[in-house]
């Protein structure tokens, strides 16, 4: 019987209605797989072997009672057939250390989704640089003069840190904005940290589309996250409303541009963020929106993902 381990934030604190990891776990359990639950602090290394303190896990489609945990045991991570790395950012050094342990498990035969090295390599903001034909005018720099010049050139400009999530620390500025210098100084820590600047896309009013990719193939519907009144950010965490819509021809073209690289890097489950005609981010750590799309279109994206994973298990 296939055993799947999941590394995630505390399962007791998830949002039952929205949590994509729960959708994956329900699908794996429905397939007859055994589940094992880890939090990042449960992982450790001893004499070159990655271990984890895990608990047997059962999940339920019940908003009041969605999980049960059994007694904890310690086992080598390599004994698991599949490991889902679903820890939310921040993408800090502790996250990176966890990927090294998961990479040892991968080397010993476990399938880790997504591939640990690629989690380290594919920064969710910077990874878009591999596909400049898909992106709006973009600058990444910590040079404050260069950032000011980009704003003067582009007009309305969005500035954001390279390690944020959920719309945290995203700013909109423009030439002659009296706050522009303060924004640049704050985000770059006075020129000590890289900042991403992108031309503002007014199409954000129609939503920041999340397109889910499974092994390089897009789910045929996107979730357009429409900003709340008075908001710039199309993030559900910032109060945006999620509205499903079929992929456009441009959306499918962007997916085709990105797909070969995703497959090459072992990025099996990815969320593309598209505003208007442009790719703005590639989410590889813990993409969400499964349950919203499932509910609106009677899909089972978790089952699609687990089926794709099952086809890749080598043992």
12 and 101 housed in the same domain: yes
Q: β-strands 111-113, 82-86: how paired?
A: parallel
194 and 267 housed in the same domain: no
pLDDT at 242: 87
CA terminus-to-terminus distance, the chain: 11
Q: What is the pLDDT along the chain (315 residues), one digit of tens a residue?
A: 999 999 999 999 999 999 999 999 999 999 999 999 999 999 999 999 999 999 999 999 999 999 999 999 999 999 999 999 999 988 899 999 999 999 999 999 999 999 999 999 999 999 999 999 999 999 999 999 999 999 999 999 999 999 877 667 899 999 999 999 999 999 999 999 999 999 999 999 999 999 999 999 999 999 999 987 767 665 666 677 889 999 999 999 999 999 999 999 999 999 999 999 999 999 999 999 999 999 999 999 999 999 999 999 965
- Which residues face 279 on adjacent strands? 274
306 domain residue, yes or no: no
Sign for the pseudo-dihedral over CA of 72, 78, 79, 85: positive
241 and 272 housed in the same domain: yes
pLDDT at 233: 63
167 domain residue, yes or no: yes
Cα 214 to Cα 255: distance, rounded to the nearest angstrom: 11
pLDDT at 279: 98
Domain boundaries, position 176: 137-199
Cα 79 to Cα 134: distance, rounded to the nearest angstrom: 41
pLDDT at 168: 77
11 and 98 housed in the same domain: yes
Picking from 38, 50, 59, 20, the residue whose alpha carbon sits closest to that of residue 110 is 50
155 domain residue, yes or no: yes
- Using the 3D structure, point to which of 82, 115, 148 is the last residue of a domain: 115
Specify the 3-state DSSP secondary structure of 178: coil
Nearest 5°: the CA angle 272, 275, 276 is: 125
Instruction: Decide if 33 contacts 27 (C-beta within 8 A).
Output: no
Q: State the CATH number of the domain containing residue 236.
A: 3.30.470.20
Residues near 120 by beta carbon (within 8 Å), at least 6 away in sequence: 96, 99
Token pair in block for residue 220: 């045929």
Cα 129 to Cα 142: distance, rounded to the nearest angstrom: 17
Token pair in block for residue 256: 């085709």
48 and 92 housed in the same domain: yes
Q: State the CATH number of the domain containing residue 61.
A: 3.40.50.20
- Using the 3D structure, point to which of 147, 171, 199 is the last residue of a domain: 199
Please give the sequence-ordered ranges of beta strands (E in DSSP) within 22-148, or none if there are none.
Answer: 34-38, 43-46, 49-59, 67-69, 73-76, 82-86, 111-113, 138-141
Q: State the CATH number of the domain containing residue 152.
A: 3.30.1490.20
pLDDT at 229: 74
Q: Which residues are catalytic?
A: 125, 160, 210, 225, 233, 273, 281, 283
313 domain residue, yes or no: no
Cα 191 to Cα 31: distance, rounded to the nearest angstrom: 51
Cα 151 to Cα 138: distance, rounded to the nearest angstrom: 11
57 and 104 housed in the same domain: yes
Number of folded domains in the chain?
Answer: 3
- How far apart, in Å, are the Cα atoms of 273 and each of 11, 228, 251, 279? 26, 18, 10, 6
159 and 107 housed in the same domain: no
Token pair in block for residue 263: 């497959």
- Using the 3D structure, point to which of 162, 180, 199 is the last residue of a domain: 199
108 and 190 housed in the same domain: no
291 domain residue, yes or no: no
Picking from 160, 127, 165, 201, the residue whose alpha carbon sits closest to that of residue 287 is 165
Residue 207, CB-side half-sphere exposure with 13 Å CA sphere: 15
Cβ neighbour number for residue 154 with a 10 Å cutoff: 19
């Amino acid at each position: 019987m296939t055993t799947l381990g999941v590394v995630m934030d505390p399962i007791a604190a998830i949002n039952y209605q929205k949590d994509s990891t729960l959708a994956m776990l329900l699908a794996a359990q429905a397939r007859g797989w055994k589940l094992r639950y880890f939090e990042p602090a449960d992982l450790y290394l001893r004499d070159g072997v990655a271990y984890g303190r895990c608990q047997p896990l059962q999940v339920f489609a019940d908003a009041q009672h969605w999980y049960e945990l059994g007694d904890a045991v310690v086992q080598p991570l390599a004994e698991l057939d599949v490991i889902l790395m679903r820890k939310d950012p921040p993408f800090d050094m502790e996250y990176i250390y966890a990927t090294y342990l998961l990479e040892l498990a991968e080397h010993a035969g476990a399938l880790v989704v997504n591939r640990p090295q690629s989690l380290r390599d594919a920064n969710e903001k910077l990874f878009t640089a591999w596909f400049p034909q898909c992106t709006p005018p973009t600058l990444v720099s910590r040079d404050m003069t260069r950032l000011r010049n980009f704003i003067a050139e582009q007009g309305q400009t969005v500035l954001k840190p390279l390690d944020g999530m959920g719309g945290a620390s995203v700013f909109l500025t423009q030439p002659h904005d009296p706050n522009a210098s303060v924004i640049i100084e704050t985000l770059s820590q006075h020129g000590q940290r890289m900042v991403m600047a992108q031309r503002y896309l007014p199409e954000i009013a129609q939503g920041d589309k999340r397109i889910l990719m499974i092994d390089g193939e897009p789910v045929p519907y996107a979730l357009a996250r429409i900003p709340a009144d008075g908001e710039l950010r199309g993030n559900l965490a910032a109060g945006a409303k999620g509205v499903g819509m079929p992929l456009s021809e441009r959306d499918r073209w962007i997916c085709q541009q990105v797909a070969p690289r995703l497959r090459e890097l072992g990025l099996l489950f990815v969320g593309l963020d598209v505003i208007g005609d442009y790719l703005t981010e590639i989410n590889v750590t813990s993409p969400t929106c499964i349950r919203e799309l499932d509910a609106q279109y009677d899909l089972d994206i978790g089952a699609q993902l687990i089926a794709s994973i099952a086809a890749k298990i080598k043992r």
